[in-house]
Structure 1
Amino acid sequence: MLNKTRKKMANPTTRETILAAIGRGKPDLLPLPETIGFPPNISADNLVDSFMKMVQTNGGQAIRVTSLAEASAFLSEEYDLTLPILSRVPGLEISNFTPQEDLRLLVDLHLVVLQGIVGVAENAAIWLDETAIGIRAMPFITLNLSIVLSEKNLVGNMHEAYRLIDTSTGFGTFIAGPSKTADIEQSLVIGAHGSKTLTVFLLP
């Protein structure tokens, strides 16, 4: 009886019927489009406002400045610049040591200032590559992080951003706000495993 049941289950007629039905349900093969894209979801006129609102939503702050000197003045008021500070932004010279001089100071890194490459308005993500970061750990081990970004380098969404970023530089990352984590009790903690603050300076 068992052998007869197995033969019935393996009936080739049934198998062919099922496969034929699947074949009839398949859509026709079409060529891929030459370009794959998504329409901008944020107008060019609203890029700055949308980006700044999303930075705040992510737990950071965004400040429009007219010059690097203005950004430097803000940082001087907000942070103790006698603590270990590193700036990799040309023209914003507030570094008080170099890793080559004393790598151990990175343990107590108080503030890092980096040059953002592309900013995304829909989620306030900022692309940084190895040329901007230097030592890969810097954005993640510093207590406070600041990023300088030109308004002309803002785009609406991630699809636009990926068309602009250069992935040939090696390491790269998107950063959106200070470090955050939330446990199963839905308790949000800022600065749990990275920088406690993020300040973005937008230059015209």
Structure 2
Amino acid sequence: MGDIRLSLVIATVARPTLARTLRSLRGQLWEPGDEVLLVGDGPHPVAAELLAQTGLPGRYLENPGTRGMWGHHARNWVLDTRQASGTHVMALDDDDEYTPGAIARVRARLRTNPDRPHIFRMSGHPTAPLIWRPERPVLTAGNLGTPCLVFPNDPEKLGRYGMRYTGDCDFAATTCAQYPDGPVWCEDVICRVRPFAA
């Protein structure tokens, strides 16, 4: 695989936390071909304006179909309609933020194993201070979250988000099942979950 190009999908209902989420992306090391796809789960012109103000590479899209379910419908719509043009797809919730240098660390890991899914770590989740848990690198609900997941953008192998709170685990499990060697578990903490609650 040649250059690594990242498509970051953020499903949003334009919560007040979205501005903070987008600010966490401004200082990241973006490269040509990377994109931020901010997907409105319904019409959210304020979200489109916030993205435009950041100067981040990418665009605002509006999910025209079914809405709700923690952004899972919006993320599935992006996958189903092949909106993401990067070599790899990742996602972030609109109330979380990336840690400084997260995108550079993701890209460095992907360059080592570009053809496998990667599961990074996140901190601050209400059920555990660090996910995935050090003693337990397994695909199970409560041990990963949407911001942890980075997958090759292969439409034949990408799963779909389930229509439940832990639908991100459904996506990870069905996608990783397509890869005989499984995911690469990465120690890097790339996301802080709901940092405003701290």
TM-score by length of 1: 0.28
Q: Which structure dedicates a bigger proportion of its chain to helix?
A: 1
TM-score by length of 2: 0.29
